[in-house]
Structures are given as structure tokens and as C-alpha cells.
Amino acid sequence: MIQEKRIQKRWQRLRFKARLTNLLPQRTWQQIAKWLQSCIHQVYTGIANSCTKFRVRFTSVVAMGYTTEHNYWVSSTAPAETLWQTINNLADLDDWHPLITGTNAPRGQDAKPGLIYRAFSRYLPVSTQVFVERVLPGELLSVRVFPLPGIQERATYRIVSTLCGTCVLYSISLSGWLTPLVWPVVKPQITQVATSLVEAAEQATLSPSGPTSKSGKERYRLHPKNDIFL
């Protein structure tokens, strides 16, 4: 019985194929088969190309990292010399910088190209290495910060004197694969860096005797042995 059913099914398939071949000539069926093969080939080729492009983009993003740049421009009534003294005073950066809580730079230390010092960040429990990249006395200071292995920061302070007064241009560039995660966290403080700098310089201008002593505020100092702020 089972063999008879199989024979009947095969006979029905053969009859169905015979009817199709009678409807269209054999050359037409060959053309249809070639067209179907070309369509399938194009589909597979498109899928392979899209996967290759995605793999290349993903690899480039992981290897080169993500980069974001932002510029902030603030005008000031303080003279350019006072603004430069505020920027160049590495020991008291925590007086006005929203992200820095202390440095190991001694008092009177000026920024020089190639200088390396350490700073404590508001969001990290360990010190961060800061490298002074470029200095134009009275005009420009550029530093690089290496807070984490997956991110690098480059900050530039530029003082510009115009007919309307003195302006401060603060530029920051973050690069690395951790940038999309770090930038939303530090953005509220980054946007206030230039404003805080101008306010500190204007306050120093109003009090010619210089900045007041930090009463009740503990100074951070770097231990010579273990390189940790105490």
C-alpha cells in the first residue's frame, strides 16, 4: 500500500510538470530559471556587502574611538593679564575649575610645555595625569588629560583682546570609545568652565590684594612615595 501511494504521488508530479512544459516552451523555462538565479545571487550579494560595511564601521569605531569637540566663548571685564594669571596658576585651579578638586603643583608653578602634573577630578577617586602641551604666554594654554584608558581629553584656553573687551575661548575635545558615556556626565560642569574662569578673574580684579586664603579647606598634596593626594 505504501509503495502504491508513492508511485501515485510521483505520477502526479510528472503529470504536473508535463502540464507546465506544455503551457510554456522549454527555452522560456530556462530563462525563468536564470532570472531566479540572478535574483537570488543579488540578494545574497547585498546581504554580504551590508554585513561587510557594518563590520568595517564597527571595527573603525572601536579602533579609532569616538570624538566630540565643543567651544565656549565668554566675554570678561577683567584685563587679559589677570585672566592669564588665573589660568597659569596651576596650584589653585580648584578655586574656579568645576571639575578639579586639587593639584600637586607647588605654589608659583607656571605652565610650561612638557610639564606633567597630577590633578584630582570630582568624579574619580584617584589622581589624573595632566600634560601641558602648548603655551603662548598671555594668549594660549593647551593641556591633555588622561583620566581613564578609554578616554583622552584636550582642553585649550585662549585669551583674545577685542575692541569690546577681553574674551575667553575654552575648547574641549574628548576622544576614545568611552566618550559617549563620559560626556553626558561631565557636560554640566564643562559648560561652566569658561564662566567660572571669568568670574574668578573678575573677583581677583575687585580685590587687588589677591585671592583670599582657603579657610577651612584642606589643600591637596602629593605624597612623594606613593604618588597619592593626601
Q: Three-class SS string for the chain?
A: CHHHHHHHHHHHHHHHHHHHHHHCCHHHHHHHHHHHHHHHHHHHHHHHHHHHHHHHHHHHHHHHCEEEEEEEEEEECCCHHHHHHHHHCHHHHHHCCCCEEEECCCCCCCCCCCCEEEEEECCCCCEEEEEEEEEECCCEEEEEEEEECCEEEEEEEEEEEECCEEEEEEEEEEEECCHHHHHHHHHHHHCCHHHHHHHHHHHHHHCCCCCCCCCCCCCCCECCCCCCEC
pLDDT given for residue 148 in this prediction: 81
- Residue that wins the pLDDT comparison between 113 and 32: 113
pLDDT given for residue 142 in this prediction: 94
For range 220-226, the mean pLDDT: 37
The pTM assigned to this predicted structure is 0.62
Q: Which domains does the chain have, with CATH numbers?
A: 2-60 (no CATH), 65-206 (3.30.530.20)
> With pLDDT > 90 as the criterion, what percentage of the chain qualifies?
22
For range 132-145, the mean pLDDT: 92
- Going by pLDDT thresholds of 50, 70 and 90, the confidence category of residue 169 is very high
Mean of all residue pLDDT scores within the chain: 76
Q: Render pLDDT for 40-73 as a digit per residue (tens, 0 to 9).
A: 777 767 776 665 655 545 444 444 457 889 999 9
> With pLDDT > 70 as the criterion, what percentage of the chain qualifies?
68
